[in-house]
Structure 1
Amino acid sequence: MGQNRRFQTPDTFVIIFFVVLAAAIMTYMIPQGQFEMEEVTYEHGDEEASEEVLDAEGYSQVTDDNGEPVRDGISLFEGGGGTGFLNYMFEGLVSGDKWGSAVGVVAFILIIGGAFGIIMRTGAVEEGIMKVIQRTQGRDLFLLPVIFFMFSLGGAVFGMGEEAIAFAMIIIPLVVALGYDAITGVMITYVATQIGFATSWMNPFGVAIAQGVADVPVLSGAPFRIFMWAFFTLVGIIYTVIYARRIKKDPTRSLSYETDGYFRENYTKENISSRFTLGHGLVVASLALGIVWIVWGVVAHAYYIPEIATQFFTIGLTAGVIGVVFKLRDMRINDVASSFKEGAQNLLPAALIVGMAKGIVIVLGGDDPGSPSVLNTILYHGGQLLDGVPSVVAAWSMFFFQSVFNFFVVSGSGQAALTMPLLAPLADLAEIPRQIAVLGYQLGDGFTNLIVPTSAALMGVLGVARIDWITWLKFQFKFQLLLFTLASLFIIAAVLLNFS
């Protein structure tokens, strides 16, 4: 009694629960709407691609027999596979298919966790990290810009996102061992990919689809976007290096200092003697070749979640065989199974969050524009707010709208298919090129991926880093403001330059 209790930061699970609750309340206040659908075809390279998109002129409010708007508030519980408020966890986890959120991403995260559990059990990563520390003493700060650049390039070229979860498992322990923190590791992996994604000139899962749907020549406007990518990548590198240097001088200043203790226990500068054997080398080589295989598959054959998950499983299995044959850390065949289970278990919270976050959209009625939902009404009226405003304001508002809408639909291709058919005609009314509407989409979509708790990739990487979302929000808020301000300036510049 009489003692002041310290404020306890809400767990991410708690935050999402209350967001779902707010979404449930919205279903009683906002009427449902739906769009008519049409198929759009466009040229993508030498091939013809198509997307089924909403008809911007085909929105209608759902009414009952008396002509009154339907506000079909969600029930507390539904049987028979229906969706009630309390069903959001299960329905979120089993929603979608193997190609995306949520069930596909959940399986992807668990399989990657299991595969890296095997790899980590061999000790090859630890020994490799010690070897890197041993050889880069005094020069390790140069590693950060190089890694950041490579991940940004991956985001720009082939839409790298969820793949960062796997790389973070290796890089985060490395940077902590070098005297930085897990936040630095997230910056040079996931954050870098999303900067590349947001400013890409050729990402097939984002800007290419948005341009095709908006009836803009696919991959057009590349010089402007390449400059934009180089600029934002440089900003990200400078910001990260300044932050990393400050943390290295005093690690206790890090918001993740306590949780980083998990990594410091296993990777310390005081123990930098490396016993890197042939077996360890073969494990690292199999990992490197596996990554090359994954990149080749994504670029050459558009491999996505099902194929990449299987590729990582194959890498983990190969590492396990090598570990048993070379008796790395006295590995036996049962250790392969137990380490897979342990690795998957470590990422289970991140996988559950993906399902919970998807539950938000399900409670709002789903993201199918052709079916009645509250989300469709929000989308339509959000777009109508842009009608009749000055061109600069309209362009910036599109960017802002995409930033907010990304909370509900994190998928880049899904957001493009939902919003571009609506915003492209509005760009015509505001007398700005449709290319600028695409620019607003990609900047709004990509940069907010760094902060929205509904992003499966973000929550997966934070799970690997052992950083809760609130801690990440405290760190990321300033950087998000910087990116938002700079992106706004690019949008204004694009209007002034009549970017088309």
Structure 2
Amino acid sequence: MSIKGKHQIEGDKKPRAWEMPDTYLIIFFVILFAALLTYLVPIGSFEMEEVTYLYKGVEKTKTVPVADSFHFETDDSGTPIRNGIRIFEPYGGVGITNYMFEGLVSGSKWGTAVGVIAFILIIGGAFGIVIKTSAVDAGMFELIKKTKGNENYFIPIIFVLFSLGGAIFGMAEETIAFAMILIPIIVALGYDSITGLFVTYIGAQIGFATSWMNPFTVAIAQGVSDVPILSGAGFRLVMWSFFTLFGIVYSYRYAKKVKKNPESSIAYQTDAYFRNDLQAKKDIKIQFTTGHKLVLLTIFLGICWIIYGVVRYEYYLPEIATQFFIMGVVSGIIGVIFKLNNMKLNDIATSFRDGAKDLLGAALVVGMANGIVLVLGGTDAGTPSVLNTVLNWMSSGLAGMPAAVSAWFMYIFQSIFNFFVVSGSGQAALTMPIMAPLADLVGVNRQVAVLAFQLGDGFTNMIVPTSGVLMGVLGIARLEWSTWAKFMIKIQAILMLFASIFIIAAVLLGFS
């Protein structure tokens, strides 16, 4: 073959399309970057103290860092120590290659990795039982039949309900369960799983970020900042209304576009799972029976019990996971008694296992992502770490700026720091004792500092791969994080613009 002919054939080859890396790969590269930082950034810590505050007439306590108490860990000559991490660390230590195991087993049942992982797997198992009864499918077809032509009303109604849930009782992990029910229904109505994520997870996070009474963010941040608990509700109610309306309009317009042209959705291929499942069930023609109604009633009563427990008794992961487990078991018993989908006792166990298996990938991501924080030394402000040094550097850098600019940089800092500390209450306890007195020095009201924290914490939960809840709902939607991040970057930019306007306006209006 001539050289010219060879070049012609090679020239006819289409360039290989660039492929987004898998979520696991992205986290691994972030681990490597975090490991590099441990060789470049010296470690430091803060002195710690216990503070008390009143919330709904009950005295609460938090152990928090003392402002201006940061100090580097030094060697005998007084030189700050850089604690470069090793590739492998035996005896339960954290090395670069230990990040998977240590990330999975870190934390406690009250949160961080191990608690969230257990929560995700139990939720998946419980709804595996519910799905096996076919009650959700039967109810879905009944709903589609009775609401033909009125599907568009679902989007604003559900969005408002989830935004209220995020605002009133800090709905977050609970959205995983709701997503398992609603995403297949929303796809069946002619939309896509992205629409389902909008009205559930994004709706709840907008409410979470702009809340006037969130017990896990606003109350704790105000308590440790010595700001009257739940004060400033008027300004926050206006903010919640604005962002909720924005979310409704954006998701409604997006949903109409997808319904008109389903192939325009980035989730079109992955949604084939839901569409094929729907078509298979249509062929079976499931009848909506008394047993199905009892299962759906069990779900409804279970959700009411959970909301009551969270609002009245501050239930968290252990209690909520158990409540969903009970809901699943009761639904399974009803399924066996009424022979729903020909269920037998063994099917309760196998469907629980299958449901948990479907969310195993999302649970693994939670542990892997927490490994990033462990490589950087953890989030304990009293233990020398790279994160503490970064926190001190960022807070010190705000000195000398105009008040409005300082407040805006507080928001940017909280947004970035949320990548490492996704827990709202954890980030409040770690950053606000430092940010509150810093706000006094730069002429920013402490109420505005709390506002910068809650907006920075809440909105970035929609995109950071370290959020266990986000990875859980993406697992349900069968979407890769990289695909979701590419889609969400524009929305994040819009939310950041509006949040910046509200923060600057709060400074100029003297919000207190």
TM-score > 0.5, shorter chain as reference: yes
Aligned residue number for residue 377 of structure 1: 389
Q: CA deviation at 1:5?
A: 2.4
1:394 to 387, 397, 406: 406
Distance in 2, Cα, partners of 1:260 & 1:116: 19
SS at match of 1:50: strand
Conserved 8 A contact 1:122-1:329: yes
1:209 to 220, 225, 230: 220
**1:230-241 alignment to 2 at 5 Å?**
230-241=241-252
List per-residue Cα deviations over 1:168-216 (Å, max 9, x = no partner).
Answer: 0010001100110000000000111110010001011111000011110
Q: Percent identity?
A: 60
SS at match of 1:242: helix
Letter of the structure 2 residue corresponding to residue 7 of structure 1: W
Structure number with larger C-alpha Rg: 2
Aligned residue number for residue 305 of structure 1: 317
Aligned residue number for residue 275 of structure 1: 287
Conserved 8 A contact 1:128-1:274: no
1:366 to 378, 381, 386: 378
List per-residue Cα deviations over 1:261-311 (Å, max 9, x = no partner).
Answer: 000012259949651000101110101100001001100100000000000
Letter of the structure 2 residue corresponding to residue 102 of structure 1: A
SS at match of 2:45: strand
Aligned residue number for residue 271 of structure 2: 260
SS at match of 1:266: helix
Distance in 2, Cα, partners of 1:269 & 1:137: 20
Letter of the structure 2 residue corresponding to residue 298 of structure 1: V
Residue 172 (1) aligns with residue 180 (2): no
2:73 to 54, 59, 62: 62
Aligned residue number for residue 351 of structure 1: 363
Q: Which is worse superposed, 268-277 or 457-466?
A: 268-277
Aligned residue number for residue 490 of structure 2: 478
Aligned residue number for residue 21 of structure 1: 32
SS at match of 1:216: coil
List per-residue Cα deviations over 1:51-82 (Å, max 9, x = no partner).
Answer: 11001111001101111110010000011111
List per-residue Cα deviations over 1:95-126 (Å, max 9, x = no partner).
Answer: 00000010000000000000000100010001
Q: CA deviation at 1:337?
A: 0.8
Aligned residue number for residue 199 of structure 1: 210
Conserved 8 A contact 1:184-1:244: yes
- How big is the alpha-carbon RMSD for the aligned residues of Structure 1 and Structure 2? 1.2
**1:151-162 alignment to 2 at 5 Å?**
151-162=162-173
List per-residue Cα deviations over 1:352-384 (Å, max 9, x = no partner).
Answer: 000001000000000000001000000000111
**1:43-442 alignment to 2 at 5 Å?**
43-268=54-279, 271=282, 275-442=287-454
SS at match of 1:335: helix
Aligned residue number for residue 18 of structure 2: 7
Aligned residue number for residue 3 of structure 2: none
Letter of the structure 2 residue corresponding to residue 287 of structure 1: I
**Matched residues, number:** 500
Q: CA deviation at 1:484?
A: 0.4
Letter of the structure 1 residue corresponding to residue 130 of structure 2: I
Distance in 2, Cα, partners of 1:191 & 1:420: 25
Distance in 2, Cα, partners of 1:68 & 1:231: 51
Distance in 2, Cα, partners of 1:362 & 1:169: 31
List per-residue Cα deviations over 1:399-437 (Å, max 9, x = no partner).
Answer: 010000000000000000111011111111111210000
Distance in 1, Cα, partners of 2:211 & 2:354: 37
SS at match of 2:347: helix
TM-score normalised to structure 1 length: 0.99
Distance in 1, Cα, partners of 2:424 & 2:63: 15
Distance in 2, Cα, partners of 1:344 & 1:463: 11
Distance in 2, Cα, partners of 1:149 & 1:75: 48
Letter of the structure 2 residue corresponding to residue 111 of structure 1: I
Aligned residue number for residue 466 of structure 1: 478
Cα distance change, pair 464–457 in 1 and its aligned pair in 2 (3 A): same
Distance in 2, Cα, partners of 1:129 & 1:55: 53
Distance in 2, Cα, partners of 1:430 & 1:382: 14
Letter of the structure 2 residue corresponding to residue 299 of structure 1: V
Distance in 2, Cα, partners of 1:353 & 1:101: 12
Q: Which is worse superposed, 36-45 or 203-212?
A: 36-45
Aligned residue number for residue 35 of structure 1: 46
Q: CA deviation at 1:9?
A: 1.4
Q: CA deviation at 1:161?
A: 0.3
Conserved 8 A contact 1:131-1:274: no
Q: CA deviation at 1:474?
A: 1.6
Letter of the structure 2 residue corresponding to residue 126 of structure 1: D
Distance in 1, Cα, partners of 2:348 & 2:281: 30
SS at match of 1:499: coil
SS at match of 1:102: helix
Conserved 8 A contact 1:214-1:421: yes
Cα distance change, pair 269–187 in 1 and its aligned pair in 2 (3 A): farther
SS at match of 1:388: coil
Letter of the structure 2 residue corresponding to residue 189 of structure 1: T
**1:479-498 alignment to 2 at 5 Å?**
479-498=491-510
Conserved 8 A contact 1:35-1:54: yes
Cα distance change, pair 214–129 in 1 and its aligned pair in 2 (3 A): same
Conserved 8 A contact 1:54-1:370: yes
